[in-house]
Structure 1
Amino acid sequence: METHMLKTLEYPRVIQMLEDQASSDLGKGEVRRLQPADDWIKVKELLDETAEGMDLLRLKGDLSLEELKDIHSALRRSEIGGVLSAGELLDVAATIQAGKKVKRTMESLSEEEAELPLLRGLSSRLHDFSSLRKAIISAIDEEGRVMDEASPELARIRRSIMQIQQNVRAALENILRSPHYQKMLQEGIITQRNDRYVLPVKQEYRSAFGGIVHDQSASGQTVFIEPASVVTQNNRLRELEATEAKEVERILAALTEKVREAADDLRADAEVLTQWDVILAKARFGQVVKGVCPKLNQERFVHLKQARHPLIPAEEAVPIDVELGKDYRAIVITGPNTGGKTVSLKTIGLLALMAQSGMPIPAEEGSSVPVFSGVYADIGDEQSIEQNLSTFSAHMTHIIRILQKIDERSLVLLDELGAGTDPTEGAALAVAILEYLLDQGCRIVATTHYNELKVFAHARPGVINASVEFNEETLQPTYRLLIGVPGRSNAFNIASKLGLPQQIVELAKGQLSTEESRLEEMIGSLASDRRAAEEERRRAEALRKEAEALHRELEGKLEAWDQEKSKMREAARREARTIVSRARREADEVLRQLREWAKERQGSIKEHQLIEAKKRLEDAVPDMELPRKTPKDTAQSARKLQPGDEVLVKTIGQKGQVVEDFGNGEYQVQIGMLKMKARREDLEWKASPAVEKAAATGISSFSRSQSHVKPELDLRGKMVDEALAEIDKYLDDALLAGFHQVSLIHGKGTGALRKGVHRFLDRHQSVKEYRLGGQGEGGSGVTVVSLK
């Protein structure tokens, strides 16, 4: 891409925003060199990397690589025999730590939570330099000082230095305290000159004090003398310091040799981490602009949903929808000045460049772009005073250069096409340029004021009119892009609103040709019809929301009534059970007494009569099990029973086993010694022999494992009952897998599935809260659920 074209579309300003999101100097430098790619496979890989980076930030939070340092010069110095400084070695250790952080982050994220194949592939290329990093940080502290623990010899030398320093200072302090010397001293302090310990002595006592003079003050009134009593110790101190420097040099050289041996792998790691930093910068940029990674297509069409210019704050930008390359290959945008035509033009071109650089674009999910071989723009006033070119000449020079470079994979953006010359000739030239570009197979977006281009766009296949909306009441643009409706100049309306006499306005209208007047009337009618349709749509949307609110309210009341009814039934059953239980105890007491009487009166009372009496009492006890409404009820009643299945005969509240299927919904069921016929609707399936066998042998026929649980569940295409059963099981699995947040993908569609899912989540005991997905999460087609 040409630098001039990138600058015209403000691409460098977007790159500056992206650079601010990089953590390291290496990452920032790589971002500054970022250029749009024109290879489909390369762009696909870049966007996939960015999408994975956005997923990683969503799942694990931010991952800063500020430890990453530019170690390339240090590695080169190590390879040519140089000794690295302590600071350079610390930079190597920090870079190793950055790689370790990346690997640790990826290892903490299972493939079931997120696959992220590209990021996992990058992290797998990082080497393990733990021993090298440990060797460096155990020898050098954070301030870049080689520590005593770096070697036993260095520790011994430094102990000796400290001992001599203490001795020297003790000797000098004795001199400071001596009355004999105090009058000779300018100040009672110990200082250093030329790395030797000295005392400040008055000039007149220079000879009397004795020792070696190392320096004097600017005024000459003070000389700095090393007393003769500490000269030998200072000499020894200098010798030890030289020995210390050699030992430090030896330690740094040994560490440098380890770096040299790993130089190639360290250099490769730095490049991988730089790539990581750029990917994460793009992911953060996506969060800042509330962007998404668009889908790539090879059909050369542009589909932007609610696209915004990235340099305009999100709360101020007016989103636009753009379709280009399917039904039509060129858009001609008309409308008043300052209405947003140029902003729309730049938004389309800039978002194409961003996508081909692997950056998220500020648009909604579902946006799709192709890979253009080049994005060419002629925008703004290109007048050159130095070249003495008029506005028209400058535009033509620029357009000619564009025409020499385009091909069928190009996107061409032309602002005020044909402006700056005679309107008739300019319009004719503009039409001819558009015809030529269409013949070349380009995708084109052009802005103009010419009515001739409006007519051309209306009549020419593959070209469509568009306009930027203008509020005639307030005389202000709304900046909305309307596809399919040509724009009006609104000159007469604006002039009237501003107070120009109506007589003059009418006279001006009379100067228009019949065709021009009819065109303006047609455009005005289209604009009015569109506004009316928009108003009707808004009213319908308001009514729909009101109906949904009322529906939710009625559902809530119905559910509350069902709960209240269940509570009342439960209370009644408990009361009945209490009464019957009391009666049973009394009956047992009566039976006990009867048996005692039967023993006394042999043959008068039979045992089977007693058992039958007690059985009638037990049958009087009501079943306490309340029916529960679950998504499985429908499937339960439709289940086909097989001989051997364990069932509950609901009419008598007893469990039995299916013996035979008579067909027509009738079965023979054995309950103890009793066999009976029963209808399917009176039977509730409880278990099958295979399930019982599995339970008996201790084999679980169903298990939940984190290994198969993903952080999202796709419900698209399912009926509500089927989806709810799946959600119920999935939320249990997600809790067992340790997820705190999951996503339910139900799509947008009619909204019926989404409503059913939300009603179910409102009642689910494991759900803490839920919300619709935001930018980059799927929007209203996804519900993000927080689990307790």
Structure 2
Amino acid sequence: MNLNLLETNSEALLNLVDWQEVIGVLSHRMYFQDAKKKLEHRPLFCPKAELTQNFLAMDTYLENKNEFDQIINEELGYIKSDTDFSTLLKKLIRGHILDLGELNTLANIFSGYKKFKKHIRIFLNLTDDRVDQSTISLIETKFVRPIRTFVERNGEIHFDQHPMLSQIYKKILQIEAQIREELSILVKQNPYKDAIQYSEYDIINDRYVLAIRSDSYKSPLGQILFRSNSGMTLFVEPISLRDKGQMRIQFLAELDEIKNKICQEFSLFLHEYEKAFLEFKDYLLFMDSLKARCDYSYEYDLVRPTLCDDFQINIKNFWHPLIKNPVKNSIFLLTDQKGLIISGPNTGGKTVALKSIAISYMFLYSKLFLPAHEATIYPVCELYYLGSDGQNLTDGLSSFAAEARNYLLLLKNIQSDSLILIDEIFNSTSSEEASALAISLLYKLQEKVNTKVIISTHHQLLKTYMHNNKEYQSAHVEYDHEKNQPTYKLMVGQPGSSLAFKILSQLAKSFDLDEDLTTKAFEVYDQKQYLYEKLLDELSCKKSTYQKLLIEQTGLNHELKNQKQSMEGLLFIERKSLLESYQKQLEKLLKEARDLVQNVKEEKVQDKKKIFETISHLKSSLNREKEQMTSSLLVEQNYIDKILDIKEVVINHQYFSISLNKKVTVIFVNERKNEVSVLALKVNVILKADDLRLLKSQPPLNKHKNQIEITIQKDDDRPMEIDCRGMRLSEFETIVEQSLSGLYKGDIPYVNIIHGHGDGILKNWLRERIESDGALMWSTSEGNDGHTEIKLR
């Protein structure tokens, strides 16, 4: 009996790791039944190079998943999912005549291959096509194109589009039209009118018939061709239609004869290319499998493994793919470590952990990504999983004998580069004997080169002895003592207690039995062993507590970082909102200013007093908006630019934060970490102490809002339109720079420079000046290139 999961044909061995159920989830994603059947077999060992190429193909597919999914779904949809490729190709090889449906399937296989060809070369890293181009061209020219003239990819046949079939097909259509027309007349006339069950006709055995009630039938109505199950309805061919029906059957026979001749010619041609179609079929099955594997890996968030050259196993956050919301665990075995000993209470997750590791390796050789967040593993040549009760009364084997036989078979057949997983080793004999035998077995397995062993056990001597062996790691499954239930978390570093007394006591309560059930057990139990198990339990409990505190601390740090990011987001939104509001007001004032200039030009406004009032109003509004914006976005530097010592920071005092560019209130000081917790915009943020600066004046603690005073000094009035026609270049440059100065400072929203039309020196210099400054932009009125309007971007 072969115990290697990569070679065995035993369903019982494969089911030890739930393989049929696991792989069944993947098979549902495959389209072809042939692909599903192939997947049902055990995974086979394949070399590292082949695995690497497969994972590269999956990476390529997943990068363009939507595109590839669409191509594959479209192409495979033309071929029936239950197509028996083996039978079809055997018929082709043996020279059988294929019908049009089978020929259409072969044509679709070829078309699928052509569609996938360039992608398959990438996926399989092929330098040359396995089928030469001349063969492909011949098949396409002599077979695919001719058959596509009258047979669509979905199998629909158009006899009228084939030169040999069209004439006889037209005769069939004509006579069928005559028969239907005569039937439509007969059902309206007696004796048929009163005798028919319903007025529609049927076709039975290629003959047109009417449904006649059995109690109304008379022989002059015609020949009975069929009876309903109840016998109440008779299907009769009217006598007047018999000759036309016979002629139609004759035409159909002629059509079939021509059709068979066409099929024979195609079949004889294809017989020479059966090897090419075997390749085409394999490519289609490969694409079906690749899509299914990528779909499965994508849906279940599987990870691509890193394959290493030295024998190590580093799988982070692995899980069993059949368990919903699983607890994820990690293992890390270095090259020089021989194995892992897992202990702990029953139903704690030891078996699931072993199965998950086995499934990960079987996924590897099924060319799937692994159920983990990260994986670096060595591709072993042999994989063993031993863990069931192999009792066989027929062969006279007890549980222990059957288990011992499996271990002996293992020692006899095992080769190098093997991973062995054993669940509850020697569980069917006394603990002391089992421990001694297990230790001996482990040392014997160590003699095999490049072999690692992962076992689960309750045996105290075994887990204690192996814990002192530096070549082995110890681990246990965690138990939540507060909730009195397992957490299914694998804790690496020390063995764990089986908690048999505690679990039995808890179960006794659920059965309303005496809680002192374990009292007698305590009396006869070796106190040294009990104290040892208790010590392991206490250590596990403390480690679990520390682990929870560590997780809480990590979570708190993440939460504080998120709060800081939220704070920065709030500041960004606040500034963006203010800028948008300011821009709207500026655009409004800008429109008013343009309207005023336009009205003055067109002499619509001649009252100088009204003009100056409007200008004064615009300036006042512009400066008011500027003051509001400045006070909203700028904070006066009223702090002392000196780094503070953590001991100088006082809780509930206000400071200026350099990173947040805001005043903040300190609510907590952590001297050990040199950090402070501050309140800004009602959000708690963690900052380093050196981010704070002392304010020049400390506001009262009960003051909620800080008043910021901003002084704005207005520059001289700047005109928004300047007529520069006739100026010298030097004078023009001075005027422009002065106007731009006012634009930069925000004293004016824009400046309109009138320089005249043509390619004058003033216009050319001005526009080169603007385009060289990234802060400026210019525009002109439609049809008027004699001026340039300048604004800030």
What TM-score do the two structures reach when normalised by structure 1? Answer: 0.65
Tell whether the 8 Å contact from 2:100 to 2:263 is kept in structure 1 after alignment.
yes
Tell whether the 8 Å contact from 1:335 to 1:486 is kept in structure 2 after alignment.
yes
The structure 2 residue matched to 1:480, chosen from 489, 493, 500, is 489
Other-structure match for 1:544? 557
| Structure 1 residues 561 and 258, CA gap change in structure 2 (3 angstroms) | same
1:549-602 superposed Cα distances (whole Å, 9 cap, x missing partner):
34224434555677699898996699799954329959x89xx9xx9xxxxxxx
1:307-350 superposed Cα distances (whole Å, 9 cap, x missing partner):
0011222x2x1111011243522111111111111111111112
Q: Give distance in 1, aligned partners of 2:181 and 2:731.
A: 114
The structure 2 residue matched to 1:333, chosen from 327, 342, 354, is 342
2:108 counterpart SS class: helix
Q: Give distance in 2, aligned partners of 1:70 and 1:308.
A: 36
The structure 2 residue matched to 1:149, chosen from 154, 160, 164, is 160
Counterparts of 1:225-374 in structure 2, within 5 Å, are 227=239, 236-260=247-271, 262-313=273-324, 315=325, 317-326=326-335, 328-364=337-373, 366-374=374-382
**Quick check: 1:87 aligned with 2:101?**
yes
Mean CA deviation greater in 425-434 or 539-548: 539-548
Tell whether the 8 Å contact from 2:160 to 2:169 is kept in structure 1 after alignment.
no
Which letter maps to 1:527?
S
| Structure 1 residues 520 and 685, CA gap change in structure 2 (3 angstroms) | farther
Counterparts of 1:660-675 in structure 2, within 5 Å, are none
Superposition deviation, residue 368 in structure 1: 1.4
Could you say what the CA RMSD is over the residues aligned between the two structures, in angstroms? 4.8
Q: Give distance in 1, aligned partners of 2:233 and 2:52.
A: 78
Other-structure match for 2:91? 77
Counterparts of 1:18-417 in structure 2, within 5 Å, are 18-33=26-41, 35-57=43-65, 61=69, 63-64=72-73, 65-68=76-79, 69-103=83-117, 106=119, 117-118=122-123, 121=126, 127=136, 132-140=143-151, 144=155, 146-166=157-177, 227=239, 236-260=247-271, 262-313=273-324, 315=325, 317-326=326-335, 328-364=337-373, 366-417=374-425
Tell whether the 8 Å contact from 1:466 to 1:482 is kept in structure 2 after alignment.
yes
Other-structure match for 1:719? none
Superposition deviation, residue 458 in structure 1: 1.7
Tell whether the 8 Å contact from 1:580 to 1:620 is kept in structure 2 after alignment.
no
| Structure 1 residues 48 and 33, CA gap change in structure 2 (3 angstroms) | farther
| Structure 1 residues 84 and 581, CA gap change in structure 2 (3 angstroms) | same
Which letter maps to 1:460?
N
Which letter maps to 2:23?
I
1:404 counterpart SS class: helix
Tell whether the 8 Å contact from 1:203 to 1:220 is kept in structure 2 after alignment.
no
Q: Give distance in 2, aligned partners of 1:505 and 1:188.
A: 84
Mean CA deviation greater in 389-398 or 528-537: 528-537
1:33-65 superposed Cα distances (whole Å, 9 cap, x missing partner):
452315333333333333433334266556433
2:719 counterpart SS class: helix
Other-structure match for 1:712? none
Other-structure match for 1:604? none
Other-structure match for 1:744? none
Which letter maps to 1:281?
A
Other-structure match for 1:603? none
Superposition deviation, residue 250 in structure 1: 2.4
Q: Give distance in 1, aligned partners of 2:163 and 2:468.
A: 91
The structure 2 residue matched to 1:3, chosen from 4, 9, 29, is 9
Which letter maps to 1:435?
Y
| Structure 1 residues 493 and 150, CA gap change in structure 2 (3 angstroms) | same
Superposition deviation, residue 14 in structure 1: 2.3
Tell whether the 8 Å contact from 1:339 to 1:469 is kept in structure 2 after alignment.
yes
Superposition deviation, residue 258 in structure 1: 4.8
Q: Give distance in 2, aligned partners of 1:170 and 1:539.
A: 85
Superposition deviation, residue 422 in structure 1: 2.3
**Quick check: 1:423 aligned with 2:434?**
no
Other-structure match for 1:469? 478
Superposition deviation, residue 408 in structure 1: 3.1
Superposition deviation, residue 28 in structure 1: 1.8
| Structure 1 residues 31 and 508, CA gap change in structure 2 (3 angstroms) | closer
Q: Give distance in 2, aligned partners of 1:626 and 1:7.
A: 80
| Structure 1 residues 520 and 266, CA gap change in structure 2 (3 angstroms) | same
Superposition deviation, residue 121 in structure 1: 4.2
Q: Give distance in 1, aligned partners of 2:567 and 2:538.
A: 43
The structure 2 residue matched to 1:534, chosen from 533, 547, 551, is 547
Other-structure match for 1:581? 718
| Structure 1 residues 339 and 122, CA gap change in structure 2 (3 angstroms) | farther
2:172 counterpart SS class: helix
Q: Give distance in 2, aligned partners of 1:16 and 1:555.
A: 49
Q: Give distance in 2, aligned partners of 1:147 and 1:616.
A: 84
Q: Give distance in 2, aligned partners of 1:361 and 1:546.
A: 31
| Structure 1 residues 358 and 176, CA gap change in structure 2 (3 angstroms) | closer
2:413 counterpart SS class: coil
| Unmatched 5+ stretches in structure 1 | 108-115, 596-606, 628-653, 656-670, 672-683, 687-788
Tell whether the 8 Å contact from 1:454 to 1:486 is kept in structure 2 after alignment.
yes
Superposition deviation, residue 221 in structure 1: 13
| Unmatched 5+ stretches in structure 2 | 1-6, 587-621, 627-712, 747-764, 775-793
Mean CA deviation greater in 450-459 or 73-82: 73-82
Other-structure match for 1:697? none
1:441-492 superposed Cα distances (whole Å, 9 cap, x missing partner):
4210111111111211221121121101112233211111111121112234
Q: Give distance in 1, aligned partners of 2:95 and 2:406.
A: 54
Tell whether the 8 Å contact from 1:148 to 1:158 is kept in structure 2 after alignment.
yes
Which letter maps to 1:542?
G
What TM-score do the two structures reach when normalised by structure 2? Answer: 0.64
Tell whether the 8 Å contact from 1:30 to 1:278 is kept in structure 2 after alignment.
no
Q: Give distance in 2, aligned partners of 1:418 and 1:232.
A: 86
Superposition deviation, residue 262 in structure 1: 4.3
Which letter maps to 1:622?
S
Superposition deviation, residue 186 in structure 1: 9.0
Superposition deviation, residue 242 in structure 1: 2.9
Q: Give distance in 2, aligned partners of 1:510 and 1:92.
A: 79
Tell whether the 8 Å contact from 1:196 to 1:226 is kept in structure 2 after alignment.
no
Q: Give distance in 2, aligned partners of 1:620 and 1:147.
A: 81
1:138-177 superposed Cα distances (whole Å, 9 cap, x missing partner):
3235785642224234222232234345556777888888
Other-structure match for 2:762? none
| Structure 1 residues 463 and 164, CA gap change in structure 2 (3 angstroms) | closer
What is the identity percentage for the equivalent residue pairs of Structure 1 and Structure 2? 21
Mean CA deviation greater in 161-170 or 499-508: 499-508
1:254-281 superposed Cα distances (whole Å, 9 cap, x missing partner):
4434544544322211111111211211
Which letter maps to 2:166?
A
| Structure 1 residues 168 and 335, CA gap change in structure 2 (3 angstroms) | closer
2:718 counterpart SS class: helix
